Amino acid sequence: MRVNIYYGGRGIADDPTLTVIAKIQSILEELKVKVDRYNLYENKNSISTLGQKVSDADGVILATTVEWVGMGGYMQQFLDSCWLYANKDEIDDVYMFPVVLSRTYGEREVVNSFNNSWEMIGGKLGDSLSAYVDNASDFEFNVDYNAYIEKFAENIYRIISKKALTLPSSCVMIKKNILKETVYLSPQENEQLSKFASDDTFVKKQKEDIEYLSAMYKELYDTESKGGDKYFIDVLKEGFNPSTKYIGSYMLIITDADKYNQDSQKEQKNIVINISGSNIEVEYGNNMDADVIGKMNKETFEKIVSGQVSFQRSFMAGDMTAKGSLKDLKMLDELFFFQK
């Protein structure tokens, strides 16, 4: 038989819960029970891995002291890890025994919270021990209290060894009918998860990656909704002003690397524009001999084709760079007319 004790208090010297679980552990060991004790305040960086070990035990003792209100943060984290990572198929036969002492108020409420949580996780409920303690020393040396604790420990042994019957509850039905899938991770995976969760640099990088992917897919969606890559060609053809008698060529380099490419490798679209009077040809390609080679990011291109700014204004503001004839550059705003 194996029993795990999980202590969720702060470990202060006069904590009465420490006295109680020490007494329980001593009696269980006299009965040849293998007892493993976990002080959660000493394992706060690896609490998320402890839930994996619950199913290895025949019974668990959840022990804490109510110093203000509720079960405390360490114990709540432990129950969270049981809910997320414990094997709920194997935890069905694990009995849970709450031990809750209070220096203020609310020990019974915490016992109820333990019971509700453990039932929802899928385990079985055993007896509970709860009490209000005004003076830790008086409580420790009280003969009647010690006898009660001894009997409680013996009942733990009896309940587990006899596999005492527990009646079905609504929590069990919820678990069977609604909670269909559980995440099962190995201890090694849980240990890695714990390390990653406490690594601020890793968490920050993950958030940046999520933001990057969200922005990238939004960009792809917006582009596809406008017609995909064909959009860049069509919008220039539609904005063309055929009334000029201009003859010349342009190459527009449109990049979105500044916004989305984390390795700063330029992802770009090269659009070649050939104009002969009232005729225009627009296609993807390269023409390094074009009269004007302009470069801008996609945001600037969108502002131009939506009529918010002109080619000339974008160039003057530094949002667009260009090489070639300044006269031919100025012609862009006569060759293309975009309305808001």
How many Å apart are CA 120 and CA 99, to the nearest integer?
Answer: 19
Do the beta carbons of residue 273 and residue 252 sit within 8 Å?
yes
Average pLDDT over residues 89-97: 90
What is the structure's pLDDT at 51? Answer: 87
What is the structure's pLDDT at 208? Answer: 79
How many Å apart are CA 108 and CA 125, to the nearest integer?
Answer: 15
Output the six-digit token pair for 46. 């690896």
What is the structure's pLDDT at 52? Answer: 84
Q: What is the mean pLDDT of the chain?
A: 85
Domains, in order of start, for the chain: 2-185 (3.40.50.360), 230-335 (3.30.1050.10)
**pTM, rounded to two decimals:** 0.54
Q: Report the relative pairing of strands 320-324 and 129-132 from DSSP bridges.
A: unpaired
What is the structure's pLDDT at 265? Answer: 45
The larger pLDDT score, comparing residue 340 to residue 276, is at 276
Average pLDDT over residues 324-338: 90
What is the structure's pLDDT at 48? Answer: 84
Which DSSP state fits 285? S
pLDDT-wise least confident of 183-187, 246-250, 296-300: 183-187
Instruction: Kindly report, residue by residue over 13-31, the tens digit of the pLDDT.
Output: 889 999 999 999 999 999 9
The CA-atom distances, in angstroms, between 31 and each of 5, 35, 143, 156, 158 are 16, 11, 21, 11, 10
Element (H, E) at 268: strand 268-276
Average pLDDT over residues 137-158: 95
Average pLDDT over residues 90-103: 93
* pLDDT at 216 exceeding the cut of 90: no
Give the chain's count of helices (H) and strands (E).
Answer: 14, 11
Instruction: Kindly report, residue by residue over 126-138, the tens digit of the pLDDT.
Output: 999 999 999 998 9
- Among 138, 128, 131, smallest CA distance to 59 is for 128
269 pLDDT band, cuts 50/70/90, is confident
